[in-house]
Amino acid sequence: MFGLSVIPQIDTLESKMSEIKNKSVINIDFYEDKYSYVVFETGKYLLGVKKIGGKDRENVEISEMPRNFIYDNGNVFVFYQKSMEVYNSLRMKIKEYNGSMLITDPIVFGEGRNVAFLVSNKLIMFGI
């Protein structure tokens, strides 16, 4: 079981807690009061987005275990060995990149609307 708790909010002095139960958590990243995660369950990798303290929603299956994972401003950037997928907060795929070389050093900038990474000796950049 994986428990996640957050610092009390200053305006309400409430503590909220979220849990991801009975699943192997592979990746997790936060943005404001939401978080995105990848779990391994029944032989599949599943992507989820959840508000802290919110109810579970159905996860979407992704192709393999991510090498890198970034959640920024409602967009989830999932980096594999030679490809990348971008999902919105509803877990719908909105962008995809497939290459023939290993992806390294990914960064997200511009309020989660742009991504850059290295492929061999080339810098790849594009907007969502």
- pLDDT 10s digits, 85-101: 999 988 899 999 999 99
Summarize pLDDT for 32-87 with one digit per residue, the tens. 989 999 999 999 999 999 888 887 778 999 999 999 999 999 999 999 999 999 99
Q: Could you write out the three-class secondary structure of the chain?
A: CEEEECCCCCCCCCCCEEEECCCEEEEEEEECCEEEEEEEECCEEEEEEEECCCCCCCCEEECCCCCEEEEECCEEEEECCCEEEEECCCCCEEEEEECCCCEEEEEEECCCCEEEEEECCEEEEEEC
State the pLDDT at residue 14: 63
Q: Flag whether pLDDT at 9 surpasses 60.
A: no
- The average pLDDT across 4-26 equals 65
Instruction: Report the candidate in 5, 47, 53 with the shortest Cα–Cα distance to residue 26.
Output: 47
Between CA 29 and CA 22 the distance in angstroms is 19
Q: What is the mean pLDDT of residues 10-18?
A: 62
Name beta bridge partners: 69: 78
Burial of 67 (0-12, 13-18, 19+ CB in 10 A): middle
How remote is the C-alpha of 107 from its chain's centroid?
13
Identify the residue with better confidence: 99 or 17: 99
Please state whether the predicted TM-score (pTM) of the whole model is above 0.75.
yes
Q: Using 50, 70 and 90 to split pLDDT, how confident is the model at 15?
A: low
